[in-house]
Amino acid sequence: MKKGIIGVMAALLCFNLYAAKSESITVNLSKLKKSYSVKNEKKSLSLGGYGSFVEFEIEISKDGEYAIVLEVENSNSLDTRTVMKLEKDKNYFNSQLIMPTEKKEIYVNRICLMEKGNHSFKLSAPFSGFTVNKIVIMPADDNIKSKISPAGLVNKNATEKTKKLYDYLCSMQGKAILSGQQINESNVELNVINETIGKYPAIMGIDLMNYSPAFVERGARGNIIRRAKAWAKQGGLISCSWHWCAPKDLIDEDKPEMRWYDGFRAKATKFDFSKAISNHNSEEYKLIIRDIDAIAVQLKSLQEADIPVLWRPIHEASGGWFWWGARGSKNYIELYKILYDRLVNYHKLNNLIWVWNAQDAKWYPGDEYVDVLSFDTYPGKRIYKTFDNELAELQSATSVPKLYALSENGPLPDITKLAQQNGIWSWFCTWNSEFVIDSNDNFSEEYTDLSHFKTFYDNPFVITKDELPQF
């Protein structure tokens, strides 16, 4: 993207706003189009919340990368869900948490890529209200970029290769999306994709389910680590989840989703992990640690092979359908922290990029435990979206710049619109089986038709395995 400077004029729809210097544009707040719940207060605008908004338009003289800076004031001391939402050119652009009692200059946590011409913006308060004292659009130089880019891995002892992967993901944010495909215990999905379009996805998605001690006790044997090592040797990346079988109290009845091999589901176990949270001397706590230690063995095997991992444990918690989400957000957050501490500080696993996936901002464990915020989404057969609402939910969890991922998807996203928006999803990972292959291990059009599949992977915005750099 070429760099340039901003033109000298800002306008609101049909209003002239402010004749600005060439270096930046300061929006005239007194002439903005606004909803009835927005009040002018001297030189400020008070957005009352619950969808209140203001709109403005600027004129850009050259293509470039820009930053949006606001001086905001949040007088709400109780509601941590005070969120600032921004749309650009009638498309979703960004959401950001404004901390309670915050009064300061904030940078929108996203580079704004703009071409020469007019661009419209809409700023809204979807939940609680806040006050805006200033809106400035300015060129994004290296100093500004450092303020609105992810600050680095939460584990400061991360391996060099893990740091390089993370830095690469940061450098590609808004410029490309990495392709991914979840597999079962074989590479059939990956091979079918290659046979269909002549390319492999950049990311292989694996699951450590069969290494759960409760599964191993019943005869399960995993070979997925061996496949992951082979994939990494070929230049591919690894995303890893864990359908964690409950350590005990499996119901194991001959009913749907209640057999022992459904032991990760809430309805398939009576295991109450809240007892582990409240009492670290309990049997439940000791079993949780036993299971984490068993999984650490597999992750260490990948670390010894110098393989970084996009690590997404205890996912989809807020849905309540997995046992780790069945005891509420507070217990889940404590379990997440236990898991982080045990793997990072006890087992010294430094090859993990931590991907949070509870799917609800209220379940966020804290910026110091999360590198990437992700969402799993299954909109229905052949429904192609950009998942703006899902991104907004993730972004409303934090005021700190982070990476974002579509960690599970059914149909592929709408890549044409995603590319036009310079979408900031770092990667996607289509789920396995029927989402890409049929019962005969041939390509399936049930969820994504072949034309859309080919169009998606042919789009230059999509990164495949052959386009990855060496880490």
Catalytic residues: 316, 408
* C-alpha–C-alpha distance, residues 29 and 47, integer Å: 12
Q: And the tokens for 221?
A: 């044997």
Collect all residues with Cβ–Cβ distance below 8 Å to 320 and sequence separation of at least 6.
266, 326
* C-alpha–C-alpha distance, residues 456 and 313, integer Å: 28
Neighbour count for residue 168 (Cβ, 10 Å): 16
Bridge partners of residue 374, in order along the sequence? 405
Inter-CA distances, 25 with 22, 32, 395, Å:
8, 14, 25
* C-alpha–C-alpha distance, residues 97 and 178, integer Å: 26
Of 470, 409, 459, 405, give the one whose Cα is nearest residue 173. 405
